[in-house]
Structure 1
Amino acid sequence: MAALRLDGHDLGRLLACSGLKRSTYYYALSHPATPTRPELRSAVAEIFSRTPNGCGHRQVAMCLRAELGARIADKTVLKMMREMGIRCGIRRETDYHRYNSYKGVVGETFENVIGRDFSADAPWQKMGTDVTEFKQPWGKAYFAPVYDFGSKEIVAWSTSTSPDMAQQVELLDLLMAKMPEGATPVLHSDMGWQYQHEAWTRRLKKAEITQSMSRKGNCLDNGATEQVFGHIKDTDNGNRAIDEGYRRKCA
């Protein structure tokens, strides 16, 4: 618009054509855009160039704080990177690529006995299970634990390169070997195909374990177990433990 004004065009007509308010136009003139944190731009470019595909704004921000002692928020770094025209080339994971065990109703389903009440007075009363995917340098690992809501312990777990029924059978073998005599816990899961499978439901009934299932598409119904996955994935030690556990299993 400033260039058109230099050509002699009337400001009122330009504002009318553009739909821009006069106050907005003069505010923009008096407050010209300035680069965000220009003193850190060279450092941002250097950190970004350390990897072939670049790195995301969170990693850049972490390096700025750790290496330079900069006081800067993640979103500020994101704004800087957008202004500089740099963007991480690593493709974001989409829902289509994430592991999902739900295949519809393919077996027997159960009501939500737990009802999001994850409190327990003692061990072996309420438990949860699920399967999650870990990406490792050599491929993908699938981790299936049984988490005790009372003791806050993972009482049984299995790792595998395939989230198949063999993994669930191994998990149940380990669980049954540890379950105290006389215990009749509730075992909660989502509606994954594994937990609807006859081999799973029959085994739980025989052991007098009450089966409970989340509602379809509602991860909060199994929030206690999902929280465990979150804590494991947030730490490098957790990822290493999955890797080492699978390597020991294969040895």
Structure 2
Amino acid sequence: MSKKTFTTGEVVQLATNPYVKSVSTKGITYTDEFKQFFITLNQQGRMPREIFETCGFDVQIIGMTRVKAAADRWRASYNEQGALGLQDTRGKHSGESLKRELTLAEKNAKLEAQIHLLQAENELLKKIRLAERGWNTSKTNPSLRYRLIRTVIEKYHLQRMVSVLCETAEVSKSGYYRYWSTSAIHRRTKKEQVDEEIGVYIRRAFQFKKRNKGARSIKMTLQGQFQIMWNLKRIRRIMKKYDIVCPHRRANPYKRMMKATHEHRTMPNLLQRNFKQGIPGKILLTDITYISYGQGKRAYLSTIKDSSTNEILAYHVSERMTMDLATNTLLHLQKNRKFKKSHDAFIHSDQGTHYTHPDFQKKVKRMGLGQSMSRRGNCWDNAPQESFFGHFKDETSLKSYATLDEVKREVKAYMTYYNHYRYQWNLKRMTPVQYRDHLPEAI
């Protein structure tokens, strides 16, 4: 017998065939009419697969193993007992009529119950994942799973499905019935009343003198003002249960900035606005700008530009302004085979946190580059890079794009245009790539 099982969709499809008496995920029961029709056509030389397909069956769904087994079984029964051997006698006593076939409405009701069970299992697992997202393990709160099982059973009107759902939720059936026993419900109700009484006092202590407090302050206030001694675990449990949130001090942003200053290092201005030195691959300018697109969306573009040739050597687009934005641009520079580093080459930027970060500076050092920075708040020290961003925004129309992928494609197309086809007056009317080839190679 074939071990192939049917999905819910396949069961529904097979049940619509008039030659099917009943169908489940494990097997099919065909009508006596179809068996007799099969034997007649088979004796005429028709193959089993052809007969099944003629009667509207999808052999790929049923499986050839099941088709061949049915054909052999029906031929043997017909040879032994004739037409009587093709009749379905399961569940029939001697002298009784054939068992009544299920009506179409009954078949639909059975399939609907199976679909509801699958929906219930999926919904139960989904609710468990959402509800236990804040718990350490799935075993810490079995009562939560018992409540979810009861909710699913009531929603889909399931009967005799407790075992299946308990197995799905990985809890015991005895524990489920014990949780919903009368005595357990009475104990939980009594505990709930006690928690509500405790919650009243905790709220009073929490709001005492109109100054909100944490668990420790609440404990001391209860002891000093109400002469009540409760431990911190109980207080914290009640606060969490009734969503009594205590205020907490946030870190001082200015102190954080001062701390970052110790970790982040600025570099001297080696460039001194001497942008055109006539040596490709020596002075690399880098900066980051934002790109507005779509309906109020924003992306960020990081570029590295050769100051002598105006060629964009590397770029990176991201929807977030993280440290990876700058370091990924360096990785793209490394992958650029046409980039030839000159002697004493260095990269110049402003004093943004991306470029003062230790990770960026280590990456620059490993690439064998020096590092230079503009003076604080002086955009003229990196003027060619700022000029490129101005031309880029004037010559592109990014607001018409709705997705980040479209923006990336437009940026890529513009970079190709800028390097290879955009002629510049100050480059002897050449494109950046032409001007690079015109200059002496890097030493």
1:217 alignment partner in structure 2:
377
* Structure 1 residue 123 corresponds to structure 2 residue 285: no
> Partner amino acid for 2:335?
A
1:158 alignment partner in structure 2:
316
1:48 alignment partner in structure 2:
none
* Structure 1 residue 200 corresponds to structure 2 residue 360: yes
Per-residue Cα deviation, 1:114-143 (whole angstroms, up to 9, x for no partner): 011111212101110000011111510100
Higher helix share: 2
Which of 385, 406, 410 pairs up with 1:244?
A: 406
Per-residue Cα deviation, 1:135-184 (whole angstroms, up to 9, x for no partner): 11151010000011122111100001111111222111111122436654
* Structure 1 residue 141 corresponds to structure 2 residue 293: no
> Partner amino acid for 1:215?
R
**How much does 1:244 deviate?**
3.3
- RMSD between superposed Cα atoms in Å: 2.7
In 2, the alpha carbon distance for the partners of 1:192 and 1:239 equals 27
Number of residue-to-residue matches in the alignment:
147
SS in 2 for 1:131: strand
1:170 alignment partner in structure 2:
328
> Partner amino acid for 1:140?
R
> Partner amino acid for 1:233?
K
> Partner amino acid for 1:150?
S
Q: Which has the higher relative contact order, 1 or 2, with Cα contacts under 8 A spaced 6 or more apart?
A: 1
Judged with a 3 Å threshold, the aligned counterparts in structure 2 of structure 1 residues 168 and 128 are, in CA distance, closer, same or farther, namely same
In the alignment, structure 1 segments of 5+ residues that lack a partner are 1-102
> Partner amino acid for 1:185?
A
Higher strand share: 1
TM-score computed with the length of structure 2 as normaliser: 0.31
SS in 2 for 1:130: strand
In 1, the alpha carbon distance for the partners of 2:290 and 2:275 equals 23
* Structure 1 residue 111 corresponds to structure 2 residue 268: yes
**How much does 1:238 deviate?**
7.2
Judged with a 3 Å threshold, the aligned counterparts in structure 2 of structure 1 residues 240 and 127 are, in CA distance, closer, same or farther, namely farther
In 2, the alpha carbon distance for the partners of 1:129 and 1:173 equals 13
Judged with a 3 Å threshold, the aligned counterparts in structure 2 of structure 1 residues 243 and 114 are, in CA distance, closer, same or farther, namely farther
In 1, the alpha carbon distance for the partners of 2:264 and 2:283 equals 23
SS in 1 for 2:348: strand
SS in 1 for 2:335: helix
1:185 alignment partner in structure 2:
345
Moved over 6 A (4+): 238-243
In 2, the alpha carbon distance for the partners of 1:169 and 1:225 equals 18
> Partner amino acid for 1:244?
E
> Partner amino acid for 1:146?
I
Q: Is the 8 A contact 1:133 1:142 kept in 2?
A: yes
In 1, the alpha carbon distance for the partners of 2:368 and 2:399 equals 34
Within-5 A mapping of 1:65-80: none
Judged with a 3 Å threshold, the aligned counterparts in structure 2 of structure 1 residues 181 and 135 are, in CA distance, closer, same or farther, namely closer
**How much does 1:243 deviate?**
6.7
> Partner amino acid for 1:114?
L
In 2, the alpha carbon distance for the partners of 1:145 and 1:162 equals 15
Q: Is the 8 A contact 2:398 2:407 kept in 1?
A: no
Judged with a 3 Å threshold, the aligned counterparts in structure 2 of structure 1 residues 177 and 223 are, in CA distance, closer, same or farther, namely same
Judged with a 3 Å threshold, the aligned counterparts in structure 2 of structure 1 residues 151 and 244 are, in CA distance, closer, same or farther, namely farther
Judged with a 3 Å threshold, the aligned counterparts in structure 2 of structure 1 residues 243 and 190 are, in CA distance, closer, same or farther, namely farther
Judged with a 3 Å threshold, the aligned counterparts in structure 2 of structure 1 residues 112 and 181 are, in CA distance, closer, same or farther, namely closer
Judged with a 3 Å threshold, the aligned counterparts in structure 2 of structure 1 residues 183 and 160 are, in CA distance, closer, same or farther, namely farther
Per-residue Cα deviation, 1:197-218 (whole angstroms, up to 9, x for no partner): 1111011111121100011111
Larger Rg: 2
In 2, the alpha carbon distance for the partners of 1:159 and 1:217 equals 24
Q: Percent identity?
A: 30
> Partner amino acid for 2:279?
A
TM-score computed with the length of structure 1 as normaliser: 0.53
Q: Is the 8 A contact 2:282 2:342 kept in 1?
A: no
SS in 2 for 1:208: coil
Q: Is the 8 A contact 2:299 2:320 kept in 1?
A: yes
